[in-house]
Amino acid sequence: MSSQAQNSQQASSFTMEDFAQALEQHDYQFQKGHKVRGRVFQLDSDGAYVDIGGKSSAFIPRNEASLKTVIDLSEVLPLNEELEFLIITEQNAEGQVTLSRRQLEIRNIWEKLALMQENSQNIEVKVMNVNKGGVTVDVRGLRGFIPRSHLLERNNLNALIGKNLTVSFLEVDRSNRKLVLSQRVATSSASFSILEVGQLVEGKVTGIKPFGVFVDLDGLSALLHIKQISQKFIDNLENVFEVGRSIKAVIIDLDEGKGRVALSTKILENFPGEMLENRDEVMNSAAARAERAKNKAS
């Protein structure tokens, strides 16, 4: 008999029953990356054995029991309690798979963070370390990064270690384990939510440029343009303002998308040049002047 005929005969002798037996040797519902439910029925020093309904019990190593450091396995893997697990290895020759609660927690955290980013939610994180580019933070057990340019305190980063910061999400990339956050954007968003055009605000002068003055409003930078300072021409802004000094002004424009806040003190003047000649009087009665300007505009 030719070899081709023998192969044909062997192929035809492989029955449906043989195929079913071959399938039974491998539980296809227990694939790597799948979530399963099971009950822990035995604990030992290296981990625990879990009944997940397969021909063989599954095993979860101690270091995969939780995202947190485990001292007592029974606290995170109580006996006979049904829990959810993630399969992290394919079945071995005996049909046993390896499970993880730690990696399931990590997957769930990434999913929650992505949803928070989608909904523009902020989160509180703890600063763990400092590097040249910024600070690393703990985000519900994951490692995140805040670039220096997205911190409110940029000069003494070491002073931030151990502190909790409220931040927003810049990038949530689970596949590359990249989690980039911003304290500046979170502060800006929070500040924008309580600001409105026509509102009188108070802040500190942080910078003086030829075109205007930058004012810090509790972490949000606003601009008082030179044309909005007084109804009278100003030759030199440094003769009028100094960095660190407090100033009151009225919001005349808000653009949250671009993070811009435009201010005006000109609107508070009773006559052209009053901000230059009698600034203290304008500041002391700013609330009444702002109310008058609002009524006039309505």
Mean pLDDT of 211-231: 88
How much is the pLDDT for 120?
78
Angle at 26 between CA 48 and CA 84, to 5 degrees: 35
Q: Are 280 and 265 in contact (CB under 8 A)?
A: no
Which two tokens mark 162?
């151990």
Residue 7 pLDDT exceeds 80: no
Q: How far apart are CA 77 and CA 83, in angstroms?
A: 8
pLDDT digits (tens, 9 = 90+) for 248-271: 999 999 887 666 889 999 999 999
Residue 189 has pLDDT above 80, yes or no: no
Which tokens belong to 70?
């485990």
Closest Cα partner for 29 from 60, 55, 61, 64?
55
pLDDT band at 5 (very low <50, low <70, confident <90, very high): very low
pLDDT band at 24 (very low <50, low <70, confident <90, very high): low
All residues at 6 or more sequence positions from 11 whose CB lies less than 8 Å from its CB, including other chains? none
Checking if the pLDDT of 243 tops 50, the result is: yes
- Indicate if the pLDDT at residue 11 is higher than 50: no
Each residue's pLDDT tens digit, 63-98: 999 988 888 999 999 999 999 999 999 888 888 899
Residues above pLDDT 70, as percent of the chain: 89
**Average pLDDT rounded to a whole number, residues 34-43:** 94
The percent of residues in the chain predicted with pLDDT above 90, rounded, is 58
- Residue 18 clears pLDDT 70, i.e. is over it: no
Least reliable range by pLDDT among 51-55, 109-113, 248-252? 51-55
Predicted model pTM: 0.59
At 8 the pLDDT is: 46
Q: What is the pLDDT, as a whole number, of residue 158?
A: 94
More confident residue, 128 or 218: 128
Q: What is the mean pLDDT of the chain?
A: 87
Higher per-residue confidence, 7 vs 48: 48
For residue 254, the model assigns a pLDDT of 87
* 119 or 8, which is more confident: 119
Domains of the chain by start residue, with CATH: 34-100 (2.40.50.140), 120-188 (2.40.50.140), 194-297 (2.40.50.140)
Q: Is the pLDDT of residue 27 over 60?
A: no
Q: What is the mean pLDDT of residues 32-46?
A: 93
Better-predicted residue by pLDDT, 239 or 76: 76
- Backbone φ and ψ for 184, nearest 5 degrees, come out as -65, -45
Residue with the bigger pLDDT between 128 and 185: it is 128
With helix as H, strand as E and coil as C, how does the chain read?
A: CCHHHHHHHHHHCCCHHHHHHHHHCCCCCCCCCCEEEEEEEEEECCEEEEECCCCCCEEEEHHHCCCCCCCCHHHHCCCCCEEEEEECCCCCCCCCCEEECHHHHHHHHHHHHHHHHHCCCCEEEEEEEEECCEEEEEECCEEEEEEHHHCCCCCCHHHHCCCEEEEEEEEEECCCCEEEEEHHHHHHHHHHCCCCCCCEEEEEEEEEECCEEEEEECCEEEEEEHHHCCCCCCCCHHHCCCCCCEEEEEEEEEECCCCEEEEECHHHCCCCCHHHHCHHHHHHCHHHHHHHHHHHHC
